[in-house]
Amino acid sequence: MSRADLVVQLAEAGAQNDHVKLERTVAALVAEARAKRHDTLADRLAKALGFVAPPSRQAPRSVNGSVLPEKVRDLLIERPARRGLDDLTLPADVETQVRDLIDEQHRADVLRSNSLDPRHRVMLAGPPGNGKTTLAEAIAFSLGVPFLTIRYDAVIDSYLGETAARLRRVFDYARATPCVLFLDEFDALGKERGDVHETGEIKRVVSSLLLQMDDLPSYTVIVCASNHPELLDRAVWRRFQLRLELPMPTRADLRRWLDQVGADRKALGFDPAALARDLEGGSFAEAEEFLLDVKRKIVLSGGAPKTIVAHQLKTWKKRFGPKAGAKFDDDGRQQSNTAAPTDA
């Protein structure tokens, strides 16, 4: 929304004595000012409407150094955003679309001057362990804004009316704060309202969630992730301007990832191409845990990296690859279980 539109809304809110609309409009102006690094103006606007708590009542500082107000302190977690897009291995089409979104956000003033808004609603789908959370973190890192994750254990209540109220508190804060708001396991909230097994109350929660998403300004990027996108309400899908799939990695993906994390022959004694073949079938998260296990054993035992990798591959393949009882050679590769033919 342009600055002119916000000023008009501010005048309308004052004329109508609509305090809720007044708060939301000022919150949007505060967020716009902070996005442009006009911190003095943002502080004055916020203080004028009592958005800033006295110093003695401020919440403890989060891991990124910002202050979460008391009303959302128990509902949100701010996580440090340490990895950017260059640190990830993404499908080419996914990376292109995410970079386009980041560019739109960085050049939002140009778009708004032409009555356009940058895209800011993203859905990530795919099996677990393949980078949905990390991609949301990378978007926050690239935009230089807080990376906020909703705590479902605190938001979802047995009294669903309370759940909707807590969601409103979270979204009210997100409207006033340029950030990446991340909703993992989104199917826990955005369920299909046509499901006959769901109660009327949960359907009202979904309806409230959709309204809250629609009301988010474009400087707040909302990223939702789901391992089961088939469970989502059809109206939920319509809200997202980017719908991206992060599939299980192919052998080529794992090969690129190994190069990226420095797992070369010199470090591990294994050819990365062969190691990518052996790790194929697992997710990025599982492959990362494999490498961490290898590094721990190298540090603690001081053994030969190649021997340690071969031993860890045997464990890996028993979990993810071949049939139980298969035998492996000294390099961790499966031996044939086919018996040699005998003369009759």
Task: For 216-230, write each residue's pLDDT tens digit.
Answer: 999 999 999 988 877
- Mark whether 283 and 204 lie in a shared domain: no
Q: Is the pLDDT of residue 314 over 90?
A: no
Mean pLDDT of the chain: 78
Q: What is the pLDDT of residue 141?
A: 93
Q: How many domains does the chain fold into?
A: 3
Q: Collect all residues with Cβ–Cβ distance below 8 Å to 305 and sequence separation of at least 6.
A: 267, 268, 269, 270, 294, 298
Q: Are 149 and 16 contained in the same domain?
A: no
Q: What is the pLDDT of residue 333?
A: 47
One domain for residues 23 and 134: no
Whether residue 99 is found in the same domain as residue 183: yes
| 149 and 223 housed in the same domain | yes
- Tell me how far apart the alpha carbons of residues 53 and 59 are, in angstroms, rounded to a whole number: 9
How is residue 311 written in tokens? 């031993």
**123 and 160, same domain (yes or no):** yes
Check whether residue 101 and residue 216 sit in a common domain.
Answer: yes
215 secondary structure, DSSP code = T
Query: Is 338 a member of any domain?
Result: no
User: What's 188's domain CATH number?
Assistant: 3.40.50.300
Domain-located, residue 123 = yes
200 falls in which pLDDT band (50, 70, 90)?
A: low
Question: Scanning the structure block, which residue is given the tokens 């359907």?
Answer: 203
3-state secondary structure of 58: coil
Look at residue 182 in the predicted model and tell me its pLDDT: 94
When pLDDT is cut at 50, 70 and 90, the band that residue 330 belongs to is very low
333 part of a folded domain: no
Q: How confident is the model at residue 305 (pLDDT cuts 50, 70, 90)?
A: confident
Specify the pLDDT at position 59.
35
Report the distance separating Cα 69 and Cα 58, nearest Å.
7
- Tens digits of residue pLDDT in 137-148: 999 999 999 999
Indicate whether 38 and 177 sit together in one domain.
no
In a domain, residue 328? The reply is no
pTM higher than 0.75? no
Supply the pLDDT for residue 344.
Answer: 33
* Residue-wise pLDDT tens digits, 258-276: 888 877 777 787 888 888 9
More confident residue, 24 or 308: 308
Residue 203 domain-assigned (yes or no) = yes
Looking at the fold, whether 199 and 276 belong to one and the same domain comes out as no
Provide the pLDDT for residue 53: 35
Q: Which residue has the higher pLDDT, 187 or 148?
A: 148
Structural domain includes residue 276: yes
Separation of CA 260 from chain center: 21
> What would the pLDDT profile of 236-263 be if each residue is shown by its tens digit?
788 899 999 999 999 999 999 988 887 7
Q: Is 67 helix (H, G, I), strand (E, B) or coil?
A: strand
pLDDT value of residue 245:
93
Among 184, 215, 245, the domain-final residue is 245
Residue 214 has pLDDT above 90, yes or no: no
Q: Are residues 292 and 257 both part of a single domain?
A: yes
Q: What is the pLDDT of residue 320?
A: 54
Bigger pLDDT: 20 vs 293: 293
Instruction: Calculate what percentage of the chain has a pLDDT beyond 70.
Output: 77
Considering the domain boundaries, does residue 87 fall inside one? yes
Q: Which comes out higher in pLDDT, residue 53 or 233?
A: 233
pLDDT on residue 61: 36
Residue 306 within a domain: yes
* Number of CB atoms found within 10 A of residue 201's CB: 12
pLDDT-derived band at 132, boundaries 50, 70, 90: very high
Is the domain of 230 the same as that of 269?
Answer: no
Confidence band of 54 (pLDDT split at 50, 70, 90): very low
Given this model, what pLDDT does residue 202 score?
Answer: 65
For residue 15, pLDDT beyond 60: yes
Distance, in Å, from the CA atom of 296 to the CA atom of 87, rounded to the nearest integer, reads: 22
Report, as an integer, the average pLDDT of 202-224.
85
φ, ψ (nearest 5 deg) of residue 240 = -95, 130
Of 49-63, 154-168, 181-195, which gets the smallest average pLDDT? 49-63
Q: Which domain holds residue 296?
A: 251-320
42 shares its domain with 66: no
pLDDT at 31: 74
- Of 195, 218, 245, the position where a domain reaches its end is 245
Average pLDDT over residues 54-58: 32
